[in-house]
Amino acid sequence: MEHIEHQGRVEALAEDILTDKQLAIDYNRKQQENREAIRRLEEHARNIRPSSRLATSTVNMGDFFIVVPTKKAQDMVGGAQKELEQAIQDVQQRLKKKVQLLNELEGDKHMTAVAKSISLRSTTGSDLYNMTEH
Cα–Cα distance measured from residue 14 to residue 78, given in angstroms and rounded to the nearest whole number? 34
Residue 9 lies in a domain: yes
Q: How many of the other CB atoms lie within 10 Å of CB of 102?
A: 19
Residue 87 lies in a domain: yes
Q: What pLDDT does 132 receive?
A: 55
Q: What pLDDT does 6 receive?
A: 85
Residue 125 lies in a domain: yes
What is the domain range of residue 110? 2-40+71-133
Residue 47 lies in a domain: no
Residue 50 lies in a domain: no
Give the pTM: 0.68
Q: Rg for the chain (alpha carbons), in Å?
A: 21
Give me the amino acid identity at 125: G
Q: What pLDDT does 5 receive?
A: 86
Residue 56 lies in a domain: no
- The three state secondary structure string of the chain is CHHHHHHHHHHHHHHHHHHHHHHHHHHHHHHHHHHHHHHHHHHHHHCCCCCCCCCEEEEEECCEEEEEEHHHHHHHHHHHHHHHHHHHHHHHHHHHHHHHHHHHHHCCHHHHHHHHHCCHHHCCHHHHHHHHHC
Domain count of the fold of the chain:
1
Profile the chain (134 residues) by mean pLDDT over runs of 10 residues: 85 93 94 93 83 78 88 92 95 94 76 50 63 52
